[in-house]
Amino acid sequence: MSRIEFRINGHHLREHDASPATTVLDYLRDNLGLMGTKEGCAEGDCGACTVLLLDRRRSKTPRWLPVNSCLLPLAAIHGRDLVTIEGLGTGGAAHPAQQAAVATHASQCGYCTPGVVLTLAAAAHCSASEFATGQAEMLAGNLCRCTGYGPIRAALAEVAASDPDDSLKRLRALPELTVAQEPLEYCAGGVHCVIPVTWEQLWEAIEQHPNHSLVAGATDWILTSAAPFWEHVGGGSGQSSSPCMLSLERLPEFCQVRDRGETGWWIGAGVRVADLQETVGADVPAVARLLRYFGSAQIRNRGTIGGNLCTASPVGDLAPLLLALDAKVVLRSRRGDRMLLLNDFFRGYRRTALRPGEVLAAIELPRPRGDTRISPFKVCKRREVDIATLSCVVAVDVGADNVMRRARVAFGGMAPTPLRVAACERELEGKVFSASAFRRAAEATERELEPISDVRGSAWYRRRVAKNLVQAFHAEWETGEEPAWRADHPGTVALAPGAQREEK
């Protein structure tokens, strides 16, 4: 028996024929004829395809999270509940989010509207405090070229945290589908899909399907690795050599954050960026400050830490942060676990230390000491939903004598991999926390790094700004002034006020 089961707008559906690698967007439109969900880019950037996915694990009351259906393989909704624009509102009556959109004149062409309205509907179920602490940013993932956003923001303000008695409330009260707890083996359209719920099942699947591909949140996978799966559609034979998606999402503890007190956190590799925001981010402000600028709400609701590190992108946001915090990675295979410093995990451009048959199981993150000063900086072309041009995280332990005991300076976007800059750290460790120490460190950084020029910025700009950021860190902590990222600068999440550093 091989089928994928899920609930869409409250209807329990069983699918036998569709490829597990099909995107939910295509499935909704082509297989179910639900045309309200739109395709604007098919790459997670526009939000026209936004749907709501029920999350039962992050909090006691299940929550509807906006996600991009263009990045969601069908297999990812096995056992899950989904709501599309057609499922909002009851008996023809408009949902409050829809009423607000009508009243504020939030659509012009209306193509972005279904996605926008679903984001608004999810915001309606945020608590007032959640909304106040950053949910207002939920709209960053819904591009609109017509309205200039004013009316959409007005509609958001109207419905946010209003807790309406709506279809979403009714649908989230339905019991979870039983298949959600069971392993899945599915094959259709020449593509296999295995969702193991034990590690043993994972190792078996890995052995059985040499042509497998690991999938977590799939936000990256679907854009970079899924093509061969679609190529296969209709052509495959269903043999074990045909491609197999191996979903990691249901592995035990894989999606959990364990707070181990003084020692720090044990973070499953399947923990999503949004979860990390709410857990570690609540304790370490620097983490929250960085993650707020990670993709869009839709991306943060799906993208995982493991996925972010395993792509080994030179401009991934988490690597510099975790490098600066001395995180370790737990690599697991049938033969057992091995632990590496994250610094040893990146082996070259988009290459990691993972061996065949090995997965990234968890990250061990030490708790920053009371005297650790941390600031992350992300510089990009657009403030929201943008990949960094470069990013930098500085963390230093400063003793009572104002001497820096330990310094970590990590960069993204400055080399083929994310990296720590030892030359820079050397200039800081053992020195007094002072402008001159950071100036020397900044100069060492500039000497050490040889970034490339690309569409996101020239090598010249990268080096200049990298150097600035090291000094910005000092200014930010020295003056105690609100850093400029608070002042909401576009194109950069970075920078503190201070003197004209590099001219001196």
Partner 1 sequence: MSTPIPPNWDTGADSLDRIDSYQVVGRNETRVDALKLAQGRGSFTDDIDLPGMLHLKMLWSPHAHARIRSIDTSAAEAMPGVVMVLHHGNVSRIPYTTAGQGHPEPSPYDQFIFPRKVRFVGDRVACVAAESAVQAARALAKIRVEYEVLEPVLDPHDALRPGAPVIHDEPEAFGLPDYDKAHNIAAAMHVEHGDVDAAFAEADLVLEREYSVPYQHHATAEPHIAITWLDEDQRLVVRVATQVPFHSRRILARILDFPLHRIRVVKPRVGGGFGGKQEILLEDLPALVTLRSGRPARLCLTRAEELASSRTRHPQILSWKTGVMRDGTLVAQELRVLANTGAYGAHALTVQTCTAGKTLPLYKARAYRFDMKTVYTNLPVAGAFRGYGGPQGFVAMECHMDEVAEKLGLDPLEFRRRNLIGPGHDNALAQALGEGKEGPPQRIRSCAIQECIDRGKAAIGWDRRDRLRSTGPIRRGIGMSCLMHGSGIPGVDMGSAHVKLNEDGSFNLHVGATDIGTGSDTILSQIAAETLAVPLEKVVIYSSDTDHTPFDTGAYASSTTFVSGAAVKKACEGVARQLREAAAEMWRVEGDPCTPEDLHLERGAVRRPDGRSLSYGEICLSTFYTHDQHQIMDHGSHMTFECPPPFAAHFAEVEVDTETGAIRVLRYVAAVDCGVPIHPQSCEGQTEGGVCTSLGYALSEDFIFNDAGRLLNDTYEDYKIPTALDVPEFETILVRSYEPAGPYGAKSVSEIPTDGPGPTIANAVAHALGIRFRSLPLTPEKVRKAWLKKEEARQRETEA
Ligand X SMILES: Cc1cc2nc3c(=O)[nH]c(=O)nc-3n(C[C@H](O)[C@H](O)[C@H](O)COP(=O)(O)OP(=O)(O)OC[C@H]3O[C@@H](n4cnc5c(N)ncnc54)[C@H](O)[C@@H]3O)c2cc1C
Which residues 5-64 are close enough to bind partner 1 by CB under 8 A?
Answer: 29-30, 33, 35-43, 45-46, 48
Name the phi and psi angles at 32, rounded to 5.
-100, -10
Pairing of strands 244-247, 191-195: parallel
Binding mask 366-385 for ligand X (x = CB under 6 A): -------------------x
User: Does 303 interact with ligand FES (rule: CB under 6 A)?
Assistant: no
Structure tokens at 231: 């190529």
User: Does 383 interact with partner 1 (rule: CB under 8 A)?
Assistant: yes
User: Does 288 interact with ligand X (rule: CB under 6 A)?
Assistant: no
User: Does 44 interact with ligand X (rule: CB under 6 A)?
Assistant: yes
CA–CA separation, 276 and 305 (whole Å):
8
Q: How far is the CB of 384 from partner 1 (least distance, A)?
A: 5
Partner whose binding site includes residue 4, from partner 1, ligand X, ligand FES, none (CB under 5 to 8 Å by kind): none
Structure tokens at 56: 């039962």
Question: Judged by CB under 6 A, which stretch of 90-98, 208-216, 447-455, 496-504 contacts ligand X?
Answer: 208-216
User: Does 39 interact with ligand FES (rule: CB under 6 A)?
Assistant: yes
The answer to whether 259 and 270 are in contact (CB under 8 A) is no
CA–CA separation, 146 and 135 (whole Å):
23
Mapping DSSP to helix (H, G, I), strand (E, B) and coil, where does residue 242 land?
coil
Q: How far is the CB of 29 from ligand FES (least distance, A)?
A: 11
User: Does 225 interact with ligand X (rule: CB under 6 A)?
Assistant: yes
Distances (CA, A) of 253 to 173, 200, 250, 423: 25, 14, 8, 38
Alpha helices in 142-192 (DSSP H): 150-159, 167-172
CA–CA separation, 325 and 245 (whole Å):
33
Structure tokens at 248: 């990691």
Q: How far is the CB of 292 from ligand FES (least distance, A)?
A: 19
Partner whose binding site includes residue 457, from partner 1, ligand FES, ligand X, none (CB under 5 to 8 Å by kind): partner 1
Partner whose binding site includes residue 426, from ligand X, ligand FES, partner 1, none (CB under 5 to 8 Å by kind): none
Q: How far is the CB of 167 from partner 1 (least distance, A)?
A: 12
User: Does 140 interact with ligand X (rule: CB under 6 A)?
Assistant: no
Structure tokens at 377: 């900086």
Q: Which of 335, 353, 377 is nearest to 474 (CA)?
A: 377
Q: Which of 495, 350, 319, 489 is nearest to 420 (CA)?
A: 319
Footprint of ligand X (CB under 6 A): 44-45, 213-221, 225, 248, 269, 273, 294-295, 299, 302-304, 306-308, 310-311, 316-318, 354, 359-360, 385, 387
User: Which residues bind to ligand FES, rule: CB under 6 A?
Assistant: 39-42, 44-49, 68, 70, 107-113, 144-147
